Structures are given as structure tokens and as C-alpha cells.
């Protein structure tokens, strides 16, 4: 049996998150959804994903409460896929991936999309992790506490 392993029962939120959105296409679909893509065919042509894959991904993401379907906003009888509150919560995951990609995967001259402040049009600031009392924290300043062994 080579069924894909499930991480759902891990006591680690990272593992559980990856169990839900950790596959090849999910985050790309969600990224496009943030960019305003809503229709099946838009996702399909934009991502170049096989229709079958897209259909199952959209169904899974919907079942997991990350997308929801809505009647088409243009008045036609078709459906649209829109991010739920839970799905919109993934915004910072996408931003973190984007900033890492920008910093480590592109040459300065490479063309790439940029995330800008809608109001001013300027690139957004780098994400920063802070402590509860607002000190700047690097990875070496933190520690993962295992779940309480109640």
C-alpha cells in the first residue's frame, strides 16, 4: 500500500496545516483565488492544471472549508469558488513563500510579479516575527514546546 500518509493527527500545527494544503496545487489555487480568480476555467487555463486534478482539488478545498461555492457574480447560472475566512487566513503563508522566493530564487534582473500596497503602490515590507512584548525574533530566538504530556 502506497497510500499517501496522513499527518492530521500530529500534535504539530505545521504538520496538520500541510495535511490540508500541503500538496502541489492547493497553494497555487489559493494564490490565484487571492488574485481574484473565481471560475473553474480561469483556474484551469491560468495554472495549466489537468481538469481532473483541478476538479478534485476544488472539491477537497471546498470540503475542508477553504473555498466555498457561490452563484456566479456575472448573473449566469455557473458557480464560482471563493475563499472563506479560513482560506483568507492563508494570506501570510502565501506572502511568506513569496518573500522567500524573491529573496533566494531570483536574480535581481529576473522579471517577477510583486506584491504591493494597494493604496500607495509601493512594495510591502518584509514579514517579521515578534515576541509577545514586541522584540524582533529570529529562528534562533525561538523554541518549539512539545505538547503538554497531561
User: What is the binding site for DNA (CB under 7 A)?
Assistant: 1-5, 23-25, 39-42, 48-53, 55-56, 58-59, 72, 76-80
Closer residue to a second copy (CB): 78 or 106: 106
Choose the binding region for a second copy from 18-26, 37-45, 54-62, 69-77 (rule: CB under 8 A).
18-26
Whose CA is closest to 61, among 41, 34, 89, 81?
81
Residue length of the chain: 150
Specify burial of residue 30 (Cβ count, 10 A radius: 0-12, 13-18, 19+): buried
99 touches a second copy by CB under 8 A: yes
Torsions phi, psi of 116, nearest 5? -120, 155
**Distances from the Cα of 19 to the Cα of 86, 93, 140, angstroms:** 15, 15, 26
Cell output for 133 = 512584548
State in angstroms the smallest separation of the CB of 48 from DNA. 7
82 lies in the site for a second copy, by CB under 8 A = no
Of the listed pieces 37-45, 54-62, 74-82, 130-138, which binds a second copy according to CB under 8 A?
A: 130-138
> Applying CB under 8 A, does 3 fall inside the site for a second copy?
no
94 makes contact, choosing from DNA, a second copy, none, with CB < 5 to 8 Å by partner type, with a second copy
Amino acid at each position: 500500500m502506497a497510500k499517501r500518509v496522513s499527518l492530521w493527527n500530529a500534535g504539530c500545527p505545521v504538520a496538520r496545516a500541510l495535511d490540508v494544503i500541503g500538496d502541489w496545487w492547493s497553494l497555487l489555487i489559493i494564490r490565484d483565488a487571492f488574485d481574484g480568480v473565481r471560475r473553474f476555467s480561469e483556474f484551469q487555463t491560468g495554472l495549466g492544471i489537468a481538469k481532473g486534478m483541478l476538479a478534485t482539488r476544488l472539491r477537497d478545498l471546498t470540503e475542508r472549508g477553504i473555498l466555498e461555492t457561490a452563484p456566479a457574480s456575472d448573473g449566469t447560472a455557473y458557480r464560482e469558488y471563493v475563499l472563506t475566512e479560513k482560506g483568507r487566513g492563508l494570506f501570510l503563508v502565501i506572502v511568506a513563500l513569496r518573500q522567500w522566493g524573491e529573496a533566494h530564487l531570483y536574480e535581481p534582473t529576473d522579471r517577477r510579479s510583486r506584491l504591493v500596497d494597494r493604496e500607495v503602490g509601493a512594495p510591502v515590507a518584509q514579514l517579521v516575527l515578534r515576541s509577545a512584548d514586541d522584540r524582533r525574533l529570529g529562528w534562533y530566538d525561538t523554541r518549539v514546546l512539545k505538547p503538554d504530556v497531561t
